[in-house]
Amino acid sequence: MTTTPWTPTSWRSHDAAQQPTWPDALALDDVERQLRKFPPLVFAGEARSLTSALSDVASGKAFLLQAGDCAESFHDFNADSIRDKLKVILQMAVALTYASGVPVVKVGRIAGQFAKPRSSSTETQGELTLPSFRGHLVNGEGFTKQDREPDPTRLLTAYQQSVATLNLLRAFTKGGFAALHQVHSWNMSFVKDSPEGERYEQVAGEIERALRFMTACGIDLAAEGNLDEVDFYTSHEALVLPYEEALTRQDSLSQQWVDTSAHMLWIGDRTRQVDGAHVEFLRGVLNPIGLKVGPGIDLGELKALCELLDPERTPGRLTLICRFGRDKIEDRLPPVLDAVTAAGHPVVWASDPMHGNTFSAGNVKTRSFDDIVAELQTFFQICRAKAIWPGGVHLELTGENVTECLGGGDEVKELDLSTRYRSICDPRLNASQALDLAFSIADLLRN
């Protein structure tokens, strides 16, 4: 395959799918100029650490838990919501590690997950047709002309919100909140009395006993920094390329380019065209890259994408996030696994059991817990049969007590959906459903 030299702007000579039509090009230029001067959110060294952690996943020594909102919101920006998302991810990681003995690499869809691809660029209600809502990085969700007009100053707000979110995440994960002896405190009040909350309490109790046992044996746990701190990484879909380009910087040590907007970036199922701008942009940055693989993937295309994004066959560089749907996975996953394995890419295989299982109930989008579990079960089965490590999961969830997905231990029913449906985009698992799912995944990992 021939490729022209990469630069942070080389994507501009490729077609970019799913870009908003900005009404004022000069206003966008001005925002880009400002962003280029702003400090980086993450460092090259951190992105490299994540690649290294993911290389352990690729070789079957660790498991990837990537999770968070479908779309972060400018309205729902506060310390409690960040803390509760972190809590539920930490709880899930404990459930997974405790059951399987495998370390969990924790990556949030957070601190930058603001842009959404849409199936149609406009939305019509009655007589009125307006641009579709593309996430708070671009416009507002209200169905008014004013809300829907793409506004480049939102890129600055998104940057500021990402900075503050990441700052709090760093404080929580390095400042004692995520210390293993806090394991009980992550269980939220509304989860505690549910069956999965109780199962979690049991695990937490056993962990505490183990810690006490080790202290009694004379092991100095305070000296074991690993128990007090957690590595937590950020990720989002790299969709709006002017934003990503403006935050891409040259690492002074290696001269390589790093997209400092997040540790890991992924390419969505709608923007993975081999000649497209998103693939062109991400092939040149050193960050670990995710690629969504949906039922429409062509195997030749997939091999070309792997070659472009992982030409050196670097373990941990590329995560293939499979999102086929429970009815299609059995058919589509095996040839995908075979093609990539034959081409020699040491990728992380992850399952996104959310995006292939969305359906409408009344006037809202939802997903059923059973479909999600079913796709995961099939993912594990097929990988295992081919001696491939089922390396991770990619989930949409929140720490709040929402009613957006059906089923789970608490049994959210169709009639309940409207009670606390708060997502501005796809339906998310609530904290109980997320914990319930973690225990199901733990069972799959153990078997």
- Return residues touching ligand PEP (CB under 6 A): 70, 117, 268-270, 292, 294, 323, 355, 426
What's the closest the beta carbon of residue 293 comes to ligand PEP, in angstroms? Answer: 8
Q: Which of 31, 70 has the CB closer to Co ion? A: 70
SS3 of 153, please?
A: helix
What's the closest the beta carbon of residue 54 comes to ligand PEP, in angstroms? Answer: 18
Strand partners, 65: 106, 393
Query: Closest residue to ligand PEP, Cβ-based?
Result: 268
- The CA-atom distances, in angstroms, between 63 and each of 94, 103, 405 are 12, 6, 24
What's the closest the beta carbon of residue 225 comes to Co ion, in angstroms? Answer: 35
Q: Do the strands 318-322 and 348-351 form a parallel or antiparallel pair, or are they unpaired?
A: parallel
Among ligand PEP, Co ion, none, residue 269 binds (CB under 5-8 Å by kind):
ligand PEP
| Buried residues in 274-309 as b, exposed as e (16+ CB within 10 A) | bebbbbbbbbbbbbbbbbbbbbebeeeebbbbbbbb
Integer Cα distance of 297 and 337 in angstroms: 12
Residue with tokens 């601190």: 111
- The CA-atom distances, in angstroms, between 90 and each of 223, 229, 250, 354 are 22, 12, 32, 20
Max CA pair span of the chain: 74
What's the closest the beta carbon of residue 158 comes to Co ion, in angstroms? Answer: 17
Torsions phi, psi for 392 (to 5 deg): 180, 180
What's the closest the beta carbon of residue 278 comes to ligand PEP, in angstroms? Answer: 11
What's the closest the beta carbon of residue 236 comes to ligand PEP, in angstroms? Answer: 9
Q: Which of 66, 194 has the CB closer to ligand PEP? A: 66
Q: Which of 187, 366 has the CB closer to ligand PEP? A: 366
Q: Which of 294, 427 has the CB closer to ligand PEP? A: 294
For residue 302, give the DSSP letter. Answer: H
Q: Which of 3, 121 has the CB closer to ligand PEP? A: 121
Among Co ion, ligand PEP, none, residue 117 binds (CB under 5-8 Å by kind):
ligand PEP
- The CA-atom distances, in angstroms, between 194 and each of 157, 268, 286, 425 are 38, 35, 43, 27
Contacting Co ion within 58-87 (CB under 5 A): 70
Q: Which of 48, 109 has the CB closer to ligand PEP? A: 109
Q: Which of 426, 431, 436, 444 forms a contact with Co ion (CB under 5 A)?
A: 426
Q: What is the size of the binding site for Co ion (CB under 5 A)?
A: 2
Binding site for Co ion (CB under 5 A): 70, 426
